[in-house]
Structure 1
Amino acid sequence: MKNFIHPDFLLEGKTAQKIYHEYAENQPVIDFHCHLSPKLIAENHNFDNLGEVWLAGDHYKWRAMRTNGVNEAYCTGSPPFYEKFLKWAETVPNTVGNPLYHWTHLELARHFNIFELLNPKTADSIYHKASEMLKEEAFSTQNLLKRMKVEMVGTTDDPVDNLEYHIKLKDFEVQVRPTWRPDNLIKTDDPETFNNYIEKLEEVSGKSISTFSDLLTVLDERHAFFHEAGCRASDHGLDRMYYSEDAGTNPEEAFKKIRGGSKLNETETEAYRFRMMQELCKLNHKRGWVQQFHLGAMRNNNTRLFKKLGPDTGFDSIANPQDSYKISRFLDSLDVHNQLAKTILYNLNPADNEMFVTMIGNFQDGTVPGKMQYGAAWWFLDQKTGMEKHLADLSALGLLSRFVGMVTDSRSFLSYPRHEYFRRIACNFIGNEVDKGVIPNDPEILKNLVEGISYKNAKSYFGFQNSR
């Protein structure tokens, strides 16, 4: 019987199979947005077992396990990883139809050459075989990246980070670049938490921050430090875009108020966040970075478990549709002064797909192919249906051929088959369009399209062919 993961997995027709195997399969990987630990890469860490590398911190799996009736202890608690893994193995057969089923078996196949289906009967043998392999030098964090043909990794890093591990990795053959993630600068709801963060900035910069102008000076210096360490991108995880007609030109009073321990009102909050984001984006433009906006997550919905477990533990969901007016006005507020950097907008609500694609078209200016990007199907949408809709909407309303492609957006070192997953889905989408006569069966067109969205577009867009 044919293995579930086989050479033509997800490739329905001959055309899809041909373009995948000839143009996509062997392309290197540029993973310009993920949450891997640079410390674990720098230390060339070996994981003790399959449970550790798969289940520690993976809120996708925790969410599925809870849905399957697994006690929370086996998700975020203290039982041994072997016991947690057995609970995951009980869950896997029930994830059929969910991308977790595909990802699980792709990772077993690509990393461990295991093609058995994971279930309670096979769990023990799979666990011990994979765990023994993980102890080998070939499965250290650095070698895992090299074996998956990863050329570049973009981690996620706060402005207060000293980037010591990125600096240690400057001669590693895989580029491990920091990504500036300054979200804490707009988290003003709790003045105490905000001020604690500003104090961390003071400590790392060695400068006092008593005014908004002081803050901008320190941020410019930290931005420059990140640039010297190889950073070429920012990332902003926002619930939505901010815009205020009342922003004015002086946010000093709002900053003074919150530094004094008082909460901002709703109008002040919107105005401050709008101005702060403007200034951050101006820094990105100043140094020629790419800026990414992950929009539309409704986070930490379960108050009881958020208090117990903290953020990023699997209690987030898709939010309401985005405010197109505020997205437009925010981008225009930068473009009108010619300070809009290359920008990637990631959307989490599929109802907004067409709005996002048409929005980026408003700010293409002919200076860079695909300057404004509709980012890869993200989080709850990085599954077969979500990717297919993403590809169809981008094809219909933008230029699919300029799309910069997939990211893992993952904390797991085993997640790199997600790039393969995307490439297979994309080639199947394109191949089916060719077979229907919608796209010409022209080798040059297909080669440029598939190689571009698999690898080449990202390499050019971020300028990673250049040295640091």
Structure 2
Amino acid sequence: MKQGSVIPEDFLLNNETAKKLFNDYARDLPIVDYHNHLPPQEIAENKKFVNLTEIWLKGDHYKWRGMRALGVDEDLITGAASDEDKFMTWAKIVPATVRNPLFHWTHMELKDPFGINSYLNADSGAEIYAHCNELLQQDGFSTQGLLTHYKVKMVGTTDDPCDDLKYHKQIGESSFATKVKPSFRPDKALLIDKTGQFKAYMKQLSSVSGIEITDIESLLAALRSRVDFFAAHNCSISDHGLSALPAVYSLTDAEKREFAAFLKSPDGVFSNPDAFAGYVLTELCKVYNELGWVQQFHLGALRNNNLGMFNKLGPDTGFDSIGDFKHAERLSGFFGNLSLTDELTKTIIYNLNPADNEMFAAMIGNFGGGGMKGKMQYGSGWWFLDQKEGIERQLNALSNMGMVSNFVGMLTDSRSFLSYSRHEYFRRILCNMFGAEMENGQLPDDEKWIGKIVSDICYYNAEAYFNLG
């Protein structure tokens, strides 16, 4: 195919020191992708994708939002249109995505792994589609082939407590070198305000755990049994997607009796959802600490804003947004409560509102210590903030309020096997920041010194934090 220089070798590296840092200390390091939404079944079965649309556009709500903003009919996004028509529609609008991170991600993903370094547009779309579809039939472009290509040492999937983890077991028993670890994501057990869904989930959890859930004690027992099951399947990470942490961490005796009656009642609502979520989550966090797990909290999303489209397509389809929740007192209170009994385990908190960057970065400094390096982590820019400016602002907030040298680095938080270019994107941005400050005298002009810190942030800190050594 005709080549260009859309993503040049020095992309985002604006000084000579940055180029040296990236090429000698960051580029070739393995990847620890400790949080994503990749389907374990597709990894276990070493799936090959039929075409570029299947691997690249299906399930990618970033691209879907862009297409909607540019006036594309929904039939060509999530509807019944053919895969080729959907791809060609995407190709036609890519030129209009300039200055959105989609523009860079799109061309980085075409360059690696497909070797295409020319612009995607209406003129090039058909040729690029055919070229990529041909490559996708090769063994190196299967799910396992791609993870190997990107040097992914660990994949942390996101899994419901009721999952049987059979695909993780299958992968673990295979010769595949990448570690695919489940993460315990018990959100559905906390959302008691969604009465119908919650009660249906209680029945499912009862069935899977073998413990009939009739009160708060049996609920905690059922959840503990699933934590133990996950631990037996190589899980050492939990994850929680919440608007904000609960502000209350206990239930009164009357509320415990109310919960038991609530489970038996065909209708009605529980009077204090925040206290319920806070109590159950606190008890889970104590278990995570007992087992030495890492707990993650993704905070601040305002989800499913377009109710009409939510009713048609369901969640995770591109209608979520940045929320403006009040986090400081809730973060302080929740972690402070766990600190009273020294039951706060290694913790990563992720912020979605850039206005809260400094507050989140400062908060982790309140709960470190105990002789553990980097116990509390201010997580990487995610979702709406995993673009260049968002990454830079997160790194600067962490540098100013804490110790960026402790940082465990980037994650994909993606459903696509092509999203690993985001680690390269992050590494280039990181090296450019450090390189610029080395050249202007803000940092020591010592390549080995700063190079080690860059390497630690890109890989070695995460390797140690998640006990992968």
TM > 0.5 = yes
Q: Which of 373, 376, 383 is the matching residue for 1:379?
A: 383
Is structure 2 residue 366 aligned with structure 1 residue 345? Answer: no
- 2:34 is equivalent to residue 32 of structure 1: yes
Task: Check whether the contact 1:109–1:115 (CA below 8 A) recurs between aligned residues.
Answer: yes
Q: CA deviation at 1:187?
A: 1.1
- 1:342 CA drift (Å): 0.2
1:87 aligned to which of 89, 99, 108: 89
For residues 55-79 of structure 1, what are the alpha-carbon distances to aligned partners after superposition, in whole Å with 9 as ceiling and x for unaligned? 1111000000000100011111011
Q: 1:190 to 1:412 in 2, by over 3 A?
A: same
Give the match for residue 450 of structure 2.
446
Count of residue correspondences: 463
How far apart, in 2, do the equivalents of 1:223 and 1:251 lie?
25
Per the TM alignment, residue 10 of structure 1 is displaced from its structure 2 partner at its CA by 0.5
Query: Aligned partners of 2:170 and 2:393: how far apart in 1?
Result: 41
Q: 1:188-247 CA deviation, whole Å, 9 max, x = no partner? A: 123221110011011111221101101111111110110110111000000001012774
Query: SS at the partner of 1:76?
Result: coil
Question: Residues of 1 paired with 2:169 and 2:254: CA distance?
Answer: 37
Q: CA deviation at 1:251?
A: 4.9
Q: Counterpart amino acid of 2:62?
A: Y
Contact 2:249 2:334 in 1 (8 A): no
Q: Distance in 2 between matches of 1:308 and 1:448?
A: 50
Query: Greater shift after overlay, 37-46 or 442-451?
Result: 442-451
How far residue 404 of structure 1 moved from its aligned partner, in angstroms, is 0.2
What TM-score do the two structures reach when normalised by structure 1? 0.97
Which of 226, 235, 243 is the aligned partner of 2:230? 226
Counterpart Cα distance in 2 of 1:114 and 1:79: 26
**Is 2:369 the partner of 1:365?**
yes
Unmatched 5+ residue regions in structure 1? none
2:331 and 2:96 mapped to 1: Cα distance?
A: 39
Q: What's the counterpart of residue 276 of structure 1?
A: 280
**1:293 aligned to which of 289, 292, 297:** 297
Aligned to 1:149: 151
Note the aligned Cα RMSD (angstroms): 1.3
Q: 2: CA distance between counterparts of 1:447 and 1:389? A: 21
Residue 455 of structure 1 is matched in structure 2 by: 459
Any idea what the Cα deviations from partners look like across 1:145-180, whole Å, max 9, x if unmatched?
Answer: 001100100000000000000000003210000000
Structure 1 residues 249 and 150, CA, compared in 2 at 3 Å: closer, same or farther?
Answer: farther
SS at structure 1 position matched to 2:77? helix
Alpha-carbon distance, 1:298 to partner: 0.3
Residues 30-109 of structure 1 mapped to structure 2, 5 A cutoff:
30-109=32-111
* Residues 402 and 245 of structure 1, relative CA distance in 2, 3 Å threshold: closer
Paired position in structure 2 for 1:237: 241
Please give the alpha-carbon distance, in whole angstroms, between the structure 1 residues aligned to 2:225 and 2:290. 12
User: 1:255: how far off?
Assistant: 2.1
Seen in structure 2, the aligned counterparts of structure 1 residues 250 and 390 have a Cα distance that, compared at 3 Å, is: farther
**What 5-or-longer segments of structure 2 have no aligned partner?**
none
SS at match of 1:169: helix
Conserved? CA contact 1:49–1:130, under 8 Å = yes
Aligned to 2:135: 133
How far apart are 1:250 and its partner, in Å? 7.3
CA separation in 2, counterparts of 1:250 and 1:40?
Answer: 46
Q: Distance in 1 between matches of 2:77 and 2:446?
A: 49
- Relative to structure 1, the CA distance from residue 251 to residue 463 in structure 2 (aligned partners, 3 Å threshold; closer, same or farther) is farther
Instruction: Select between 142-151 and 433-442 the one with higher mean Cα deviation.
Output: 433-442
Rate the CA distance shift 1:277–1:246 in 2: closer, same or farther, 3 A.
closer
Sequence identity (%): 48
Deviant stretches of 4+, over 3 Å: 245-251
Quick one: distance in 2 between partners of 1:201 and 1:349?
33
Structure 2 match to 1:115: 117
**Paired AA for residue 451 in structure 1:** S
Greater shift after overlay, 54-63 or 318-327? 318-327
State whether residues 158 and 185 of structure 2, in contact with CA within 8 Å, keep that contact through their aligned partners in structure 1.
yes
